[in-house]
Amino acid sequence: MRVLCCLDSFNVEALVGALASLLRAEEKTLGALYVTDTGPQEDMKRQRERFLRPSRSMLPRHEQMRQAEEGLAQEVLSEARQHLGTYSTHIELLQHVGRPERAIVQLATEWQADLIVICPRSPRGGGPALGPKSVGHVARFVLDHAPCSVLLVRPRVSDDFTLPLSPPSPPRPR
């Protein structure tokens, strides 16, 4: 079985925990994927071009940002190798630059993944832990377009969480 683990800088331990309970080490090849999102850079570039003239002095800044993003990617993949190494001897570290949602689906197809493991959203993104808005745009796109099964790994909800058995009734007109 080929399992593609979609990483961000916060979810490595959650993904490893979910995988440990699912599969034996000898049964799987794990792909640890980190995608550097180009979306924010593209948005900034459009805004800059809209309101300001393009500046040649930004080239050194872009290189600094690229190096920082590369460093973060290597750090996340290194942590993933360390954690995933306990559960599989076959680990492939995969790094891409682009839109994460599209890169994940494309790589899952090329890599012939049997399962994609992804978290619903980054904790830094805010938003509710449960409900329709709890799944971010990347996870939603992957769920809708994946060429294989997708395991959505949620953080544990507090023990005092309860969900009403039926939705509240709307108020009756008088």
The answer to whether residue 167 sits within a structural domain is no
Q: Is 62 inside a domain boundary?
A: yes
Position 169 in a domain: no
Give the residue-averaged pLDDT of 48-59: 65
Tokens at residue 165, please? 């058995």
pLDDT surpasses 80 at 125: no
Domain range for 6: 2-152
In a domain, 173, yes or no: no
Please indicate, yes or no, if residue 118 is contained in any of the structural domains: yes
Q: Are the CB atoms for 4 and 31 separated by under 8 Å?
A: yes
Report percent pLDDT > 70 for the chain: 76
Considering the domain boundaries, does residue 158 fall inside one? no
Specify the number of domains making up the chain.
Answer: 1
**Per-residue confidence (pLDDT) for residue 136, from 0 to 100:** 87
Q: Tell me what pLDDT residue 148 has.
A: 93
Q: How confident is the model at residue 9 (pLDDT cuts 50, 70, 90)?
A: confident
> Considering the domain boundaries, does residue 164 fall inside one?
no
**Neighbour tally for 16: CB within 10 Å:** 22
The Cα–Cα gap between 172 and 170 comes to: 6
Q: What per-residue confidence (pLDDT) applies to 50? A: 66
Q: What is the CATH number of the domain that holds 145?
A: 3.40.50.620
The answer as to whether 170 is a domain residue is no
